[in-house]
Structure 1
Amino acid sequence: MRSTPRAARVCILGAVICAVLCSLPAWTPGAATPWGTLALLTTLYLVCELPGRCPFFGSSVPISAGSFFPLLLAAAFLLPPAAAALVAILGSLAGRVEQPPFAARRVWRAAQLSVTVWAASCAHTVLGGPGALGGGSGDQGVPDFPYALLPACAAALAFSLVLTVLDGCILVTAERQPARHAWRGLLPHSLGPHLVHALAGLMMAVLWRSSYGPLSALFVLLPMYISCWVFAQYHREHAAHRATIRALVQAVDIKDKYTRGHSERVGKASVLIARELGMQESRLEALRFAGILHDVGKLGVPTRVLRKDGPLTPEERRVIELHPEYGHEIVRGIGFLDEARAAILHHHERLDGSGYPYGLSGRQIPEFARVVAVADAFDAMTSTRSYRRGRPVPAAVAELERCAGSQFDPQMVGALARGLARHGWSGAATAVTADEVAVRERMPVPGAREEGAGDVRRPSPAPSPDGRERAADGREAADRGDGTDVSAERPG
Structure 2
Amino acid sequence: MRGTPAAARVRILAAVLCAACCALPALSPRAGTPWGASGLLLALCLACEALGRRFDPGSLRAGGAGSFLPLLPVAAFLLPPAAAALVATGAAAAGRVERPPFAARRIWRAAQLALACCAASWTHTLLGGPATLGGPGAPDFPYALLPAGAAALTFSLTLTALDCAILAAAEGQPVRRSWRALLPRALGPHLVHALAGLMMAVLWRSLYGPLSALFVLLPMYISCWVFAQCHREETAHRATIRALVQAVDIKDAYTRGHSERVGRASVLIARELGMDPARLEALRFAGILHDVGKLGVPTRVLRKDGPLTPEERRVMSLHPEYGHEIVRGIGFLDEARAAILHHHERMDGNGYPYGLSGCRIPEFARIVAVADAFDAMTSTRSYRRGRPVPAALAELRRCAGSQFDPRMVRALTRAVDRHGWSCADTAVTADEAGGGVPVPAARRDAAPSRDRRPSPDRSA
**Does TM, normalized by the shorter one, top 0.5?**
yes
Q: Flag structure 1 segments of 5+ consecutive residues without an equivalent.
A: 441-475
Secondary structure of the equivalent of 2:180? coil
Q: Give runs of aligned pairs for residues 167-178 of structure 1, distance below 5 A.
A: 167-178=163-174
* Aligned match for 1:486, one of 447, 454, 460: 454
Instruction: Give me the whole-angstrom Cα distance separating, in 2, the residues matched to 1:147 and 1:241.
Output: 43
Residues 1:432 and 2:430 are matched in the alignment: yes
Amino acid at match of 1:132: T
Give the counterpart letter for 2:194 in structure 1. Answer: A
Match status 1:91 vs 2:91: yes
User: How far 1:437 sits from its partner (Å)?
Assistant: 7.5
Q: Which residue of 1 aligns with 2:332?
A: 336
Confirm or deny: 8 A CA contact 2:46 2:68 kept in the other structure: no
- Alignment match, 1:269: 265
Identity %: 75
Q: CA deviation at 1:335?
A: 0.6
Residues 443-482 of structure 1 aligned to structure 2 (within 5 Å): 479-482=449-452
The amino acid that maps onto 1:193 is P
Looking at structure 2, the residues matched to 367 and 97 of structure 1 have their Cα atoms a distance apart, in angstroms, of 47
Structure 1 residues 98, 132: closer, same or farther in 2, change over 3 A?
same
Matching of residues 80-119 of structure 1 within 5 Å: 80-119=80-119
Q: Which amino acid aligns with 1:15?
A: A
- Report the Cα offset of residue 422 of structure 1: 2.2
Which of 334, 344, 369 aligns to 1:373? It is 369
The letter of the residue matching 1:35 is W
User: Judging changes above 3 Å, is the alpha-carbon distance between structure 1 residues 32 and 439 closer, same or farther for their aligned structure 2 residues?
Assistant: closer
Any idea what the Cα deviations from partners look like across 1:329-355, whole Å, max 9, x if unmatched?
000001111111111101111112111
Q: Classify the secondary structure of the residue corresponding to 2:383.
A: coil
Quick one: which amino acid aligns to residue 108 of structure 1?
W
Partners of 1:428 and 1:70 in 2: CA distance: 38
Indicate if the aligned counterparts of 1:50 and 1:94 stay in contact, CA closer than 8 A.
no
Distance 1:491 1:364 in 2: 25
Tell me, in whole angstroms, the C-alpha distance in 2 between the residues paired with 1:15 and 1:394: 54
**1:480: Cα distance to partner?**
4.5
Tell me which amino acid in the other structure corresponds to 1:214. Answer: P
Residue identity opposite 1:432 in structure 2: A
Summarize the Cα distance change of 1:490–1:259 in structure 2 as closer, same or farther, 3 Å threshold. closer
Higher mean alpha-carbon deviation, 77-86 vs 140-149, is at: 140-149
Q: CA deviation at 1:385?
A: 1.7
Q: Distance in 1 between matches of 2:111 and 2:411?
A: 49
User: 1:490: how far off?
Assistant: 8.3
Please name the residue that 2:198 is paired with: 202
Kept after mapping to 1: 8 A contact 2:136/2:207: yes
What is the letter of the counterpart of residue 315 of structure 1? E
Distance 2:387 2:457 in 1: 17
Distance between the aligned counterparts of 2:164 and 2:410, measured in 1?
Answer: 39
Closer/same/farther in 2, CA of residues 79 and 287 from structure 1, 3 Å limit: same
**Does the 8 Å CA contact 2:204/2:210 hold for their aligned counterparts?**
yes
The 1-side partners of 2:217 and 2:235 are apart by 26
Matched letter for residue 358 of structure 1: Y
Q: Distance in 1 between matches of 2:391 and 2:268?
A: 19
Whichever residue aligns with residue 36 of structure 1, its letter is G
Distance 2:397 2:175 in 1: 41
- Calculate the aligned-residue CA RMSD, in Å: 2.2
Structure 2 gap ranges (5+):
439-446
CA–CA separation in structure 1 for the residues paired with 2:252 and 2:450: 15
Map 1:138-217; keep pairs closer than 5 Å.
139-217=135-213
The answer as to whether partners of 1:52 and 1:95 remain within 8 angstroms in 2 is: no
1:209: how far off?
0.6
Checking the alignment, whether the CA contact within 8 Å between 2:254 and 2:431 is kept in structure 1 is: no
Matched, 1:11 2:11: yes
Counting matched residue pairs gives 447
Whole-Å Cα distance in 1 between the matches of residues 188 and 139 of structure 2? 24
Letter in 2 for 1:481: D
State the Cα distance separating 1:45 from its structure 2 match: 1.0
In structure 1, how many angstroms separate the alpha carbons of the residues matched to 2:156 and 2:25? 24
Alignment-mate amino acid for residue 107 of structure 1:
I
Match of 2:230 in 1: 234
